[in-house]
């Protein structure tokens, strides 16, 4: 006869525990109760998350301040190193005016060998002497801290990251500011979590919120910062949903702080007439945009493989670690200098150094239709896109400190701009505005390289202040994500939430929701129970005959009083008087609790985790606390796998074993 807890749903043998089904929503109350009910709901929702949301605001302030300091330090180093010493004035994005007036110094090309090398040497010394985890592009370290490090980042890392990244980028190394600011914001979040002694779960959320807040401030993209923090943790189309709301609050505060100091304009400027002309209104244009997505995938594969290939070479090279960033910076400077002379001293090719935003601004504002001028621009964009790929791999792969997002924007934008000019020359009606290909190329390239299609779409729109291309950008981002291979810019990403160490325990709890200890009860007759007066020899015999590592002890009335474990028995066996003088009450431990028959398996799992035993006694619900049976950790594992494969766990007819529902 079927149990009343289950109900058949279809002839395939699937069933559901009715106690697990949510109760129907209550009927609407009288309008006079709407406001009190609204206040009660708001208070209950905020009360449970008040500390987390408040700390999100604080981490937003810290990340905004960190972004301001990082921006000032970067500009200061670039002014001294590139502007005054080299005489090279790298173009700034229009949304960020230079903080220091450019000195009219004579350009000294040979200094491109010395200045980046010196910056790499200082950066490498600081990193490997003070904080080795500040090596590389930062975002990957923050992702690893979320999944594997309980959200813990040492307090010194944000400070070291500010200085070393400014030295790397400001002296001409090819790197972006996304990686450093991600690790800086995450470091502030981790610091606050440590101060307020947050649980590991909340600490990870605050750390991720700081990561998103830093990106939101420095790139003038608050919405993208919140989405980036939740999306970049996984290489699949998965989100860390618990991060979005705290990251949104932190991003809004950080962006507001940065905007009050440096203004509110988008990072890149687009003329109003060009924005209007680029508005999507012809579905036929999706054909060349599809080719752009395919090209972005190929370029992203080249970028990731070049970066990690050179990174592996530098790691295997037997050379002092603190010298490797200097060698990579020297190679980067030499590469930029070679391009400068090869292209007849055209300063525009030096966009392969530092941020490279000058070439990107040119790509997103080009209009085409200039004949030979367009061919020269195609050549320039391709050289910058491919050259930036190699220069970034040399700078960051050698151990320098910088991000991969900024170079990815330059590579994708210049690659898309070159393709847009070619399409404009071949199909003017399908590609009327080459600049639109540069904009969409930025988003689709990063979507393929970092596996972040939605945040790539939003961040490019916010960085440029242009939303007329949302549909083709979404099309290309999704296509690029689907067509990309498994290689990602961020090796610490995991494939999905199910595979993250953070959530593995949570999925077990979800699968076992609704089950109680009585449903996995092993009867009292199946396992022995000792009395407090049982002699030592009988205790040893009971453990050996039943192959147990622990056995419960109950008083003559059947009430649970403790547990005898194998460890204590082994220690006692070394005593010469054990056989005659030691009883079970001398060996039993009182710190191993019992569980009740009505306890959920979530509660039982917590007890198992806390005391690390294989068997726990189950007492009945009465006041006398008699031992009713036992629950085994192994039975919980079996129940989990049965639930995982769609076979709910049931109590058998005799009520003492775990049986799957018949299929």
Residue 507 has pLDDT above 60, yes or no: no
Instruction: Please report, in angstroms and rounded to a whole number, the separation of the first and last CA atoms in the chain.
Output: 16
Proportion of the chain above pLDDT 90, given as a percent: 40
Q: Please state whether 310 falls in left (phi above 0), alpha (psi between -120 and 50) or beta.
A: alpha
Average pLDDT across the chain, whole number: 84
Minimal CA–CA distance to 441: which of 412, 420, 475?
A: 412
Q: Is the dihedral of CA 262, 266, 272, 274 positive or negative?
A: positive
The answer, yes or no, to whether residue 383 has pLDDT greater than 90, is yes
- For 173, the token pair is 């190394």
Contact 315, 393 (CB under 8 A): no
Instruction: Give the pLDDT confidence of 212-252 residue by residue, as tens digits.
Output: 999 999 889 999 999 999 999 999 888 888 899 999 999 99
Rounded-to-integer distance, Cα 605 and Cα 651, Å: 19
Contacts of residue 70, defined as CB under 8 A and 6 or more positions apart, other chains included, come to 162, 165, 166, 177, 180, 181, 184, 218
> How far apart are alpha carbons 80 and 87 in whole angstroms?
10
Q: Rounded to an integer, what distance in angstroms lies between the CA atom of residue 449 and that of residue 467?
A: 22
> How far from the centroid of its chain's Cα atoms is residue 347's Cα?
38
The CB density around residue 181, as the number of other CB atoms within 10 Å, is 34
Find residue 565's DSSP bridge partners: 550
CB 490 within 8 A of CB 450: yes
Q: C-alpha distances in angstroms, 595 versus 19, 162, 237, 600?
A: 21, 52, 40, 10
Domains by residue range for the chain, with CATH? 47-499 (1.10.3080.10), 517-660 (3.10.580.10)
Q: Two tokens at 496?
A: 């999905």
pLDDT of residue 31: 67
Mean pLDDT of 500-517: 67
The two tokens of residue 411 are 């590579």
Find, among 608, 586, 584, the residue nearest to 595 by Cα. 608
What's the sign of the alpha-carbon dihedral 359, 223, 290, 301?
Answer: positive
Strand (E) or helix (H) holding 142: helix 139-148
Nearest-angstrom CA–CA distance, 460 and 485: 22
* Torsions phi, psi for 116 (to 5 deg): -60, -35
pLDDT in tens, 32-55: 666 666 666 555 555 657 788 889
Instruction: Give the Cα-Cα-Cα angle 41, 47, 48 (nearest 5 degrees).
Output: 100
| Other CB atoms within 10 Å distance of the CB of residue 122 | 18
User: In 10 A of CB 259, how many CB atoms?
Assistant: 15
Cβ atoms 269, 357 nearer than 8 A? no
User: What are the beta bridge partners of residue 660?
Assistant: 649
CA 12/CA 563 separation, integer angstroms = 44
Q: What is the pTM of this model?
A: 0.76
Q: Model confidence over 307-339: pLDDT tens digits? A: 999 999 999 999 888 899 999 999 999 999 999
What is the predicted pLDDT for the residue at 22? 55
State the DSSP code for 642.
H
- When pLDDT is averaged across residues 252-267 and rounded to a whole number, the result is 92
Q: What is the CA radius of gyration of the chain?
A: 32
Which of 36-40, 412-416, 500-504 has the lowest average pLDDT? 36-40
Cα(227)–Cα(280) distance, integer angstroms:
24
For β-strands 627-632 and 522-523, DSSP reports them as antiparallel
The pair of structure tokens assigned to 120 is 């790499």
Q: Is the model more confident about 303 or about 612?
A: 303
Digit-coded pLDDT (tens) for 167-222: 999 999 998 888 888 888 999 999 988 888 888 888 899 999 999 999 999 889 99
């Amino acid at each position: 006869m079927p149990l009343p807890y289950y109900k058949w749903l279809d002839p395939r043998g699937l069933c559901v525990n009715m106690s697990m089904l949510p109760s129907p929503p209550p009927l609407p109350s009288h309008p006079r109760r709407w406001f009190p009910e609204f206040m009660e709901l708001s208070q209950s929702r905020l009360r449970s998350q008040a500390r987390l949301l408040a700390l999100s605001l604080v981490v937003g302030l810290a990340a905004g301040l960190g972004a301001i300091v990082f921006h000032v330090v970067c500009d200061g180093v670039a002014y001294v190193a590139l502007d005054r010493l080299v005489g090279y004035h790298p173009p700034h994005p229009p949304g960020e005016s230079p903080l220091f007036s450019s000195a009219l110094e004579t350009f000294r090309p040979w200094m491109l060998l010395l200045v980046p090398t010196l910056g790499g040497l200082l950066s490498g010394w600081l990193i490997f002497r003070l904080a080795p985890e500040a090596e590389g592009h930062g975002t990957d370290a923050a992702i690893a801290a979320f999944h594997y490090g309980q959200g813990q980042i040492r307090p010194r890392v944000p400070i070291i990251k500010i200085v070393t990244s400014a030295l790397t980028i400001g002296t001409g190394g090819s790197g972006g500011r996304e990686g450093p600011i991600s690790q800086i914001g995450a470091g502030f979040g981790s610091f606050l979590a440590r101060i307020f002694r947050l649980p590991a779960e909340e600490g990870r959320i605050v750390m991720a919120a700081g990561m998103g807040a830093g990106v939101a401030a420095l790139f003038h993209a608050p919405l993208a910062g919140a989405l980036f923090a939740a999306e970049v943790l996984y290489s699949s189309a998965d989100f860390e949903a618990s991060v979005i709301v705290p990251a949104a609050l932190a991003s809004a505060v950080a962006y507001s702080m940065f905007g009050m100091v440096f203004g509110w304009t988008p990072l890149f400027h687009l003329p109003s007439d060009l924005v209007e002309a680029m508005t999507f209104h012809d579905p036929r244009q999706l054909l060349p945009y599809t080719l752009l997505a395919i090209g972005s995938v190929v370029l992203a594969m080249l970028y990731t493989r070049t970066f990690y290939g050179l990174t592996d070479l530098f790691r295997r090279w037997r050379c002092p670690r603190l010298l490797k960033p200097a060698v990579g910076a020297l190679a980067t400077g030499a590469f930029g200098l070679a391009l400068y002379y090869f292209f007849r001293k055209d300063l525009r090719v030096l966009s392969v150094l530092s941020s490279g935003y000058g070439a990107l601004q040119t790509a997103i504002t080009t209009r085409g239709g200039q004949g030979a001028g367009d061919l020269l621009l195609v050549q320039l964009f391709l050289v910058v896109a491919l050259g930036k790929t190699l220069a970034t791999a040399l700078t960051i792969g050698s151990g320098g400190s910088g991000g991969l997002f900024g170079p990815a924007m330059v590579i994708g934008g210049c690659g898309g701009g070159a393709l847009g000019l070619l399409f404009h020359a071949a199909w003017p009606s399908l590609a009327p505005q080459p600049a639109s290909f540069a904009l969409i190329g930025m988003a689709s390239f990063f979507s393929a390289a970092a596996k972040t299609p939605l945040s790539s779409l939003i961040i490019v729109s916010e960085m440029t202040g242009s939303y007329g291309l949302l549909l083709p950008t979404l099309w290309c981002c999704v296509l690029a994500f689907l067509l990309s291979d498994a290689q990602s810019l961020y090796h610490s990403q995991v494939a999905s939430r199910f595979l993250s160490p953070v959530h593995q325990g949570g999925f077990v709890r979800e699968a076992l929701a609704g089950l109680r200890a009585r449903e996995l009860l092993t009867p009292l007759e199946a396992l022995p129970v000792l009395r407090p007066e049982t002699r030592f020899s009988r205790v040893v015999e009971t453990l050996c005959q039943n192959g147990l590592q622990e056995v419960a002890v109950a008083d003559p009335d059947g009430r649970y009083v403790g547990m005898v474990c194998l460890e204590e028995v082994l220690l006692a066996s070394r005593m010469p008087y054990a056989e005659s003088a030691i009883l079970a009450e001398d060996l039993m431990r009182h710190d191993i609790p019992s569980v009740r028959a009505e306890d959920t398996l979530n509660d039982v799992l917590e007890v198992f985790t806390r005391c690390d035993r294989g068997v726990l006694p189950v007492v009945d619900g009465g006041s006398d606390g008699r031992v009713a049976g036992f629950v085994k950790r192994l039975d919980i594992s079996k129940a989990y796998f049965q639930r995982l494969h769609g076979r709910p766990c049931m109590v058998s007819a005799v009520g003492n074993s775990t049986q799957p529902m018949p299929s």
